Amino acid sequence: MYVSDLINDFLEYVEIERGRSRHTIDNYGLYLARFLELTAEDLPEGAELKPKDITPELLRRYRLRLNRYKNENNIGLSALTQAYHLIALRGFLRYLARRGIDSLDPSLVDLPKATKKQVTFLHFDEIERLLDSIPLDTESGLRDRAIIELLFSGGLRVSELCSLNRDQINLERREFVVRGKGSKDRPIFISASAAERVKDYLDARRDQLPALFLNNSKNLQAATTSGDYRRLTPRSIERIVEKYTRAAGITKHVTPHTLRHSFATDLLMNGADIRAVQSLLGHSNIATTQIYTHVTDQHLREVHSKFHSETN
């Protein structure tokens, strides 16, 4: 049994048993294909990699080549991207162990230390400027205002926002449920303002299509009767956010995920418990939520000012 065949089995396992998204599965496939590519030169000509061939020495050489890897534009892989490759390999080795297939112990795959990215977020006055830059005299404007208010008010991922249907949202109760990463459901709560903007947008629509947010382009061709051909894509929403960021004169690089960061930061700055924020964001690990500890800077300044005496 060859590793290439077992990788296909593993990807099916990840999809069916682990419930991972298509995006995650495609990435795992890419990372493991690169593993085969970078270890091929360690094999005799014409030979294929077998599970027992994955040894500590092969792993060492693979990590070295991964670190030196350059694409066609002579650009290497960041420490974070290298870590993703190794996470995929470790997951594959765990799968082999579960099946009783002799190979490298997964615990021997150590991950490199990656530099944490600095989280970009908008302060509340910047959120207000962003919202004020959106005109409300057109259906597109009403839609875009509702999108940005939902992203900030509910802390949604852009993929979650795109998948919403109009019958999912209870505008009276101002809450609904989304299915996030790992097919986990979590409640979303939104402000009265966000609910009002969604209502304004839906009232302006003259269709009965199920998708909550639609592309208004007249050039779209109906491919299905479900109306999903008009559902906004994550890239479309990224462009919407970029458009109004520029209109508001905000110089930061702002994406839909920036609004999710802003949601979490705003909660913590106003005294929310980090465990509650973890639940609202749908993070399975508290360490993921702790990237927002930068918000304590403001409190540290207050402590310093209150308790540290200045010399004259």
- Across 19-40, average pLDDT: 89
The residue annotated as part of the active site, out of 292, 299, 304, 306, is: 292
- Across 13-37, average pLDDT: 88
The reported pLDDT for the residue numbered 223 is 47
The residue annotated as part of the active site, out of 157, 174, 197, 261, is: 157
Distance CA 170, CA 270 (A): 26
257 is catalytic: yes
Distance CA 157, CA 84 (A): 20
The residue annotated as part of the active site, out of 50, 186, 205, 257, is: 257
Does residue 279 contact residue 289 with C-beta atoms inside 8 Å?
no
Residue 251 inside a domain? The answer is yes
Same domain flag for 133 and 212:
yes
Same domain flag for 144 and 215:
yes
The residue annotated as part of the active site, out of 99, 181, 199, 205, is: 181
- Across 202-209, average pLDDT: 92
Residue type, 157: R
Query: Residue 101 is part of a domain; what is its CATH number?
Result: 1.10.150
- Across 98-118, average pLDDT: 84
pLDDT tens, position by position, 244-283: 999 999 999 999 999 999 999 988 888 888 889 999 998 8
Same domain flag for 146 and 100:
no
pTM for this prediction: 0.68
Length of the chain: 312
* pLDDT at residue 198 greater than cutoff 50: yes
The residue annotated as part of the active site, out of 95, 283, 294, 301, is: 283
181 is catalytic: yes
253 is catalytic: no
- Name the average pLDDT for the chain: 88
Give the DSSP H or E segment for 176.
strand 175-179
Distance of CA 118 to CAs 78, 258, 261, Å?
Answer: 15, 11, 11
Lowest mean pLDDT among 66-70, 87-91, 132-136, 290-294: 290-294
Same domain flag for 58 and 147:
no
The residue annotated as part of the active site, out of 143, 197, 260, 261, is: 260
As for how many domains the chain has, the answer is: 2
283 is catalytic: yes
Same domain flag for 161 and 297:
yes
Residue 114 inside a domain? The answer is no
Residue 306 inside a domain? The answer is no
Distance CA 266, CA 21 (A): 29
Same domain flag for 76 and 153:
no
pLDDT tens, position by position, 56-101: 999 999 999 999 999 888 889 888 899 999 999 999 999 999 999 9
Residue ranges making up the domain that contains 24 = 3-108
116 is catalytic: no
294 is catalytic: no
Residue 311 inside a domain? The answer is no
